[in-house]
Structure 1
């Protein structure tokens, strides 16, 4: 499913999320822009049998009291399975999630500070990290530009 199709699915299912389709239309350009910078149309997310995503808490090496909670998004089923084997946890499954849906769901998931998008199966130690705060800031900036573009120049 390409990015436009993913956005259309979100619009079609907006009521399921308790929002209006026009709300998704407003933030769609930001979701599209970020998704276009990533290499895959979908990523695999590890989840338990109750369909809860597996989150990892990371601590700063120099300040162990500073932590963040991340979600790893794997580029392939094989990469996700390799990670599961490394965890020795057979209660986990890997589910494909469209990229735009991952971005959208991150906005509502307060426990997640970031998603790490792992781009290659060959290197699961590095990826592109996107923080929820950064995503929210990009959306706020976009909405402010939209509002200011809709204000007539001779409003006085």
Structure 2
């Protein structure tokens, strides 16, 4: 599924709350811009028995007190075992998810610091990290740009 179709699916499946479809439309250029930097149109996300994404807490090697919580996005189902022992847990389910949908979830995933996309099947060395803080800053900038009134041309009269 191409990125435009993914965005349209997000809009079509958004709650009819008068806000979410407009939000998706407004940040669609940001979602597409980030998705275009990634190698795959969809990734596997590991979910627990309640359907929540599985978080992994990473500790800084030099400063063990510094931690961040990440969600891994895998290019294929076999790569899950490269990082997580999920295959040993029958309550964990890999779910294939369009890349723009993964990125859109960063809007609401409070406890998540980053999504780490594994880019090369079979390897953990090539990853692309999308930090939630960075994503939210870019999203707010995009929304502000859409809300700000257009400057009045000096030669309007």
The aligned length equals 155
Alignment of 1:2-13 (within 5 A): 2-13=2-13
Find the counterpart in structure 2 of residue 37 from structure 1. 37
Name the structure where helix makes up a greater proportion of residues.
Answer: 1
By how many angstroms is 1:17 displaced?
Answer: 7.2
Structure 2 distance, partners of 1:76, 1:126, is 14
By how many angstroms is 1:82 displaced?
Answer: 5.3
Alignment of 1:1-156 (within 5 A): 1-15=1-15, 19-80=19-80, 83=83, 85=85, 88-148=88-148, 150-154=150-154
> Structure 2: 5+ residue runs without aligned partners?
none
Pick which of 96-105 and 74-83 moved more: 74-83
Would the aligned equivalents of 2:81 and 2:87 in 1 still touch at CA under 8 Å?
Answer: no
Normalising by structure 2, report the TM-score.
Answer: 0.86
By how many angstroms is 1:83 displaced?
Answer: 4.6
By how many angstroms is 1:66 displaced?
Answer: 1.1
Aligned residue for 1:25, secondary structure, equals helix
Structure 2 distance, partners of 1:106, 1:134, is 10
Identify if the C-alpha distance between structure 1 residues 32 and 84 changes in structure 2 by more than 3 Å, giving closer, same or farther. same
> Structure 1: 5+ residue runs without aligned partners?
none
Aligned residue for 1:111, secondary structure, equals coil
Identify if the C-alpha distance between structure 1 residues 68 and 17 changes in structure 2 by more than 3 Å, giving closer, same or farther. farther
Deviations 1:51-108 (A, max 9, x none): 1211100111121111110000000122225555576323211100110000001110
Normalising by structure 1, report the TM-score.
Answer: 0.87
